[in-house]
């Protein structure tokens, strides 16, 4: 069954506000300063590069516990050596900036991935029909809140930059096969296309294209890209594999509710129709994560195997609703919720709106993953 879920998310940066919930180390104070990074219109990877560039330090000396995308206003903790730390603000152009706070503490180790507990989200869901806004609002009852279960898919931010055609998973898949030339060719093509269209192009990719266009060998230019970004490409390919494996488990329940049209990068991923189907899924599916790249081509990438829950739950708090000033004749809904580390708010919202739309169109059909 396919349901058209009409809404708009991230219409403006203030519609998508994210605050990281992290756990500082309990060890003795040391040489690493922790500070708050606030940003708008910039990815975390690009922000870390800009911090290093501004402070005149190596990019590897700046650490974050998680990645936040550029379409919103985000707040997260970063770490760097205390002697290099100083607060600053950078204006990067229209609706793009980043700010690094004064130190909030000093510890004996840099931030690590395990320090991220989750994220708080304050979102405005726009361009809803009055019926859809009312259906979601009514789910909150007298307490203005409800529990939502969602399939824990990686969302499209993991596979490219919104508004562009970056095929990060294809770049990563080529690296996993040891084919650096193909990885470089895909990245060069997609980045060049985005640049020609005036799209958002992170600095490293732009320099890569400029180097290749200036005559540098494609593989040589690719190796100049930071290992952090190349590891992101590999992780993107492994995340796509996890999504497809999870989608197969969802389809096997016999109760699929299609979430995306054929043109969407996640067209192969399915939602669910009813909490009983959610309960029949495996609790989690193994996920490989890249840890280190060799100095040369991508052969011999060091991996570690982790476990990712197939279903996650959140409590959605309804803040307010009303006519949408940006979309005449439509309605907007403001919500708050928290998700554990690694879960995507965009996927949670899409499944919530799609499930509620399905239930309103077919009253005999329970909203997927709701209680």
The string of DSSP letters for 104-132 reads: -EEESS---GGGEEEEEEEEEEEEE-HHH
- Determine the pLDDT at residue 315: 96
- Determine the pLDDT at residue 298: 45
* Full set of structural domains in the chain with CATH: 26-108 (3.30.70.3160), 118-157+237-361 (no CATH), 164-230 (no CATH)
On whether the CB atoms of residues 323 and 313 are closer than 8 A, the answer is: no
pLDDT digits (tens, 9 = 90+) for 224-244: 888 888 898 999 999 999 998
Catalytic residue among 15, 69, 170, 190: 69
On whether the CB atoms of residues 36 and 64 are closer than 8 A, the answer is: no
d(CA 135, CA 303): 45
Q: On the CB side of 155, how many CA atoms lie within 13 Å of its CA?
A: 21
Enter the tokens of residue 272. 């669910």
- Determine the pLDDT at residue 252: 81
Q: If phi over 0 gives left and psi between -120 and 50 gives alpha, with beta otherwise, what is residue 10? A: left
CA dihedral 261, 353, 334, 337 (to 10 degrees): -100
Give the chain's mean pLDDT.
85
Helix orientation angle between 168-176 and 180-196, rounded to the nearest 10 degrees? 170
Asked if 91 is an active-site residue, the reply is: no
- Determine the pLDDT at residue 202: 73
- Determine the pLDDT at residue 271: 60
- Determine the pLDDT at residue 79: 94
- Please list the ranges in the chain whose pLDDT falls under 70: 1-5, 27, 160-166, 199-200, 255-276, 295-299, 359-371
């Amino acid at each position: 069954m396919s349901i058209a879920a009409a809404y708009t998310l991230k219409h403006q940066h203030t519609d998508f506000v994210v605050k990281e919930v992290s756990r500082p180390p309990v060890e003795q104070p040391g040489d690493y300063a922790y500070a708050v990074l606030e940003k708008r219109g910039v990815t975390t990877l690009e922000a870390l590069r800009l911090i290093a560039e501004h402070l005149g330090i190596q990019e590897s000396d700046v650490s974050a516990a998680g990645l936040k995308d550029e379409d919103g206003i985000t707040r997260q903790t970063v770490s760097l050596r205390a002697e290099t730390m100083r607060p600053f603000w950078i204006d990067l152009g229209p609706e793009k900036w980043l700010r690094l706070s004064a130190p909030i503490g000093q510890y004996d180790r840099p931030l690590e991935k395990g320090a991220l507990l989750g994220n708080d989200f304050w979102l405005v869901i726009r361009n809803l029909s009055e019926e859809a806004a009312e259906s979601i609002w009514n789910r909150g009852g007298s307490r203005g809140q409800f529990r939502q279960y969602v399939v824990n898919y990686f969302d499209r931010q993991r596979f490219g930059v919104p508004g562009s055609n970056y095929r990060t998973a294809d770049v990563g898949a080529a690296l996993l096969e040891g084919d650096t030339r193909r990885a470089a060719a895909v990245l060069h093509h997609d980045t060049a296309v985005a640049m020609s269209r005036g799209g958002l192009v992170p600095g490293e990719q732009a320099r890569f294209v400029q180097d290749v266009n200036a005559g540098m060998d494609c593989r040589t230019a690719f190796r100049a890209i930071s290992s952090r970004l190349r590891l992101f490409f590999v992780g993107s390919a492994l995340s796509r594999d996890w999504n497809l494996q999870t989608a197969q488990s969802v389809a096997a329940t016999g109760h699929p509710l299609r979430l995306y049209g054929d043109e969407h990068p996640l067209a192969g991923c399915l939602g669910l129709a009813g909490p009983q189907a959610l309960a029949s899924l495996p609790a989690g599916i193994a996920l490989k994560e890249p840890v280190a790249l060799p100095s040369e081509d991508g052969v011999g990438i060091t991996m570690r195997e982790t476990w990712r829950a197939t279903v996650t739950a959140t409590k959605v708090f309804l803040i307010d609703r009303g006519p949408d000033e940006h979309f005449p004749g439509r309605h907007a809904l403001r919500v708050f919720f928290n998700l554990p580390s690694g879960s995507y708010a965009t996927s949670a919202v899409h499944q919530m709106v799609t499930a509620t739309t399905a239930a309103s169109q077919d009253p005999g059909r329970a909203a997927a993953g709701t209680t």
